[in-house]
Amino acid sequence: MDVPVSGVLPAFAQPGDAGADLTATEPVTLAPGQRAVVGTGVRLALPDGTVGFVMPRSGLAAKHGITLVNAPGTIDSGYRGEIKVIILNTDSTETYAIAAGDRIAQLVVMQLAPVNFIQTEQLSASQRGEGGFGSTGYASDQEAHHGTV
Ligand SMILES: O=c1ccn([C@H]2C[C@H](O)[C@@H](COP(=O)(O)OP(=O)(O)OP(=O)(O)O)O2)c(=O)[nH]1
Ligand SMILES: [Mg+2]
């Protein structure tokens, strides 16, 4: 799909990538445990029926403990403001310095199913039923299928 962009163009690093990289417009230094809202300079007009998700970059996460507080951040199709990244340094000892132009997150655009929420008295039956939160067990050899929480 074509997505009109004003300002900075998100860029795919490789053909086939799901996420297009988002870069910081300004330098930011994050002390251990500190978060910051960082501009990307990207403004989009996502087509109706699509959503953008701002996702962490796994390299920054694995090497430096950098993640996003609200991962994934949701970009509504009607949003025309600057995409911002709510970045967090989870490392307990190391400060992390972001320079202007550094790739700090990635944008994944997806198509949505149209949804109408309809109030009802009774939901259809399913095999899972109300089971969740580990109801099927935690590992292949552990107590699986022991019912609901
Ligand atoms: O990581 C993010 C998350 C959101 N947004 C922008 C785009 C999105 O469309 C808007 C609102 O986001 P969300 O609905 O998650 O925030 P909210 O707290 O519910 O705000 P609102 O009342 O404006 O919906 O903020 C960003 O730029 N970056
Ligand atoms: Mg909202």
Token readout for 126 is 């399913």
Given the candidates 3.40.50.10740, 2.70.40.10, 3.30.1200.10, 3.40.50.1370, the CATH classification of the domain at 5-113 is 2.70.40.10
Q: How far is CA 57 from the centre of its chain?
A: 9
Domain edges within the chain: 5-113
For atom 14 of ligand 1, the residue with the nearest CA is: 74
Token readout for 48 is 């109706």
Token readout for 67 is 């993640």
Q: Which has the higher per-residue pLDDT, 93 or 138?
A: 93
Kind and range of the H or E run holding 64: helix 58-64
For atom 5 of ligand 1, the residue with the nearest CA is: 75
Mean pLDDT of 74-80: 98
Residue 71: count other Cβ atoms within 10 Å of its Cβ: 16
Tell me the CA–centroid distance for residue 47 and ligand 1, in Å: 17
* pLDDT band, residue 144 (cuts 50/70/90): low
Kindly tell me if the per-residue pLDDT of 22 is higher than 60. yes
pTM beyond 0.90: the answer is yes
